[in-house]
């Protein structure tokens, strides 16, 4: 691992995220990714379906920038329905592990009223550091 994960004992034990990441290298700022297909349509009706597509879109941008999944150091997850996110945690966790393994960057979940793309339920905004 090129980045150092920091989880202080004074804070709650993290599950599915890191409290802090000390990164070294070239920074890549990833624009917000929703479940938008190449033809401009939102794909998926459920939060989990859209998370799958948004994650794939994030990975496309990440790898196009020359980074790998384990270079991700920070991720903001914007959702229009926080209770739905909580209810789908198992499925969302499986979707995450399928793409990123057990690499958990510093993360935050933010509930918002709506996202730019009509029909979007989730948007992912990340930062990666290429060593």
Whole-number Å distance between alpha carbons of 122 and 119: 9
pLDDT tens sequence across 40-55: 999 999 999 999 999 9
State pTM to two decimals: 0.89
Whole-number Å distance between alpha carbons of 60 and 55: 9
pLDDT tens sequence across 1-12: 578 889 999 999
Token pair, residue 116, equals 């730019």
Grouping H, G, I as helix, E, B as strand and the rest as coil, residue 94 is helix
User: What pLDDT shows up at residue 23?
Assistant: 87
pLDDT tens sequence across 88-107: 999 999 999 999 999 899 99
Q: Is the pLDDT of residue 58 over 90?
A: yes
**DSSP string of 39-73?**
TS-B--SSHHHHHHHHHHHHHHHHHHTT--GGGEE
């Amino acid at each position: 691992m090129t980045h150092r994960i920091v989880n202080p004992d004074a804070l709650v034990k993290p599950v599915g995220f890191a409290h802090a990441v000390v990164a070294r290298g070239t920074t890549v700022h990833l624009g917000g990714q929703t479940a938008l297909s190449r033809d401009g349509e939102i794909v998926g009706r459920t939060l989990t379906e859209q998370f799958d597509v948004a994650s794939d879109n994030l990975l496309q941008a990440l790898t196009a920038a020359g980074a790998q999944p384990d270079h991700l150091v920070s991720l903001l997850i914007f959702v229009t329905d926080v209770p739905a996110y909580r209810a789908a945690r198992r499925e969302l966790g499986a979707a995450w592990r399928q793409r990123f393994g057990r690499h958990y960057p510093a993360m935050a979940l933010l509930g918002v009223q709506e996202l730019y793309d009509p029909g979007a339920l989730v948007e992912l905004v990340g930062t990666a550091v290429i060593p």
